[in-house]
Amino acid sequence: MTVPPLIVAPSILAADFARLADEVRAIEHAADWLHVDVMDNHFVPNLTIGLPVVQSLRAATELPFDVHLMIEDPRRWAPGYADAGAYNVTFHAEACDDPVALAKDLRSAGAKAGLAIDRDTPIEPYLELLPSFDTLLIMTIKAGFGGQRFLPQLLEKVRTARRHAAAGHLELRIEVDGGIADDTIAQAAEAGADAFVAGTAVYGADDPAEAVRRLRGLAERATTGA
Ligand code: DX5
Ligand code: ZN
């Protein structure tokens, strides 16, 4: 499998939950990953979907699943998402006392391992853990709800992480999540992100597939200078 240089991952949080399979098919040929936001009403106040929905949806599309766990006790729950066939499983640094051990569990269950950093969490304490991870998700909002305003100051963490990854020759996806849209994606790409989650900007558009293609074009132009 060739790895695309940039990943656009529509978030189904902004989709119509009564028509999830159709909503996924609407972006199936335009998107790279499907971003699935799991919230437990404890780690974040919001409550979304869990494993049974992910299992059912897995059978409805070929797209790789990028599962973003905004839950407490990820050591208990995260491997189940890998077993369900998720391509990448990301859990929050703030919710886990041994991120490296959980990353190992996820990789042995056949998934990529992702570490998420929320708005108020500094990146520095986690830099040395990055060799154990495939994906670093840097929130560009406070985790918990879609449709929030992008916080450009959080891109400083993306720059720091990208510098660190380049210096250490790490193979690391740096993903941004929150408020990614036509007017914000270029600055995130310039800061060093190479995976972009977009909920409202995709599912709020009249043509979600076209919105994905436009976002990808904007990110590509920002990184190639074309
Ligand atoms: C929020 C979620 C995001 C959310 C992004 O905590 O992690 O993935 O869906 O939604 P937008 O793109 O609308 O900010
Ligand atoms: Zn998310």
Question: How is residue 73 written in tokens?
Answer: 């006790």
pLDDT greater than 60 at residue 1: no
State the pLDDT confidence band at 4, using cuts at 50, 70 and 90. Answer: confident
Q: Find the 121 Cα to ligand 2 centroid distance in Å.
A: 16
**46 CA: nearest ligand 1 atom:** 6
37 in catalytic set: yes
Buried b (16+ CB within 10 A) or exposed e, 73-109: ebeebbbebbebebbbbbbbbebbeebeebbebbbeb
Mean of pLDDT over the chain? 97
Distances 14 to 3, 71, 165, 214 between C-alpha atoms, Å: 26, 19, 31, 18
Ligand closest to the CA atom of residue 66: 2
Atom of ligand 1 nearest to the CA of 142: 6
- Model confidence over 26-48: pLDDT tens digits? 999 999 999 999 999 999 999 99
For residue 37, give the H/E element and its range: strand 34-39
In this prediction, residue 2 has a pLDDT band, given cuts at 50, 70 and 90, of: low
| Distance in Å, CA 80 to ligand 1 centroid | 22
Six token digits for residue 174: 């740096």
Locate the ligand 1 atom nearest the alpha carbon of residue 35 and give its number: 8
The catalytic residue among 37, 66, 118, 194 is 37
pTM above 0.95, yes or no: yes
Q: Report CA(19)–ligand 2 centroid distance (Å).
A: 19
Is 177 noted as a catalytic residue in this protein?
A: yes
Residue of 196, 214, 197 lying closest to 205 (CA atoms):
214
Q: Which residues pair with 177 in a beta bridge?
A: 139, 197
**pLDDT tens-digit map of 167-187:** 999 999 999 999 999 999 999
68 C-alpha vs ligand 2 centroid, how far in Å? 5
Query: pLDDT > 90: what percent of the chain?
Result: 96
pLDDT at residue number 224: 85
Residue 96's SS3 state is coil
Nearest bound ligand to CA 14?
Answer: 1
Pocket of ligand 1 (CB under 6 A): 11, 13-14, 35, 37, 68, 141, 143-148, 177-180, 197-201
Residue 153 has pLDDT above 70, yes or no: yes
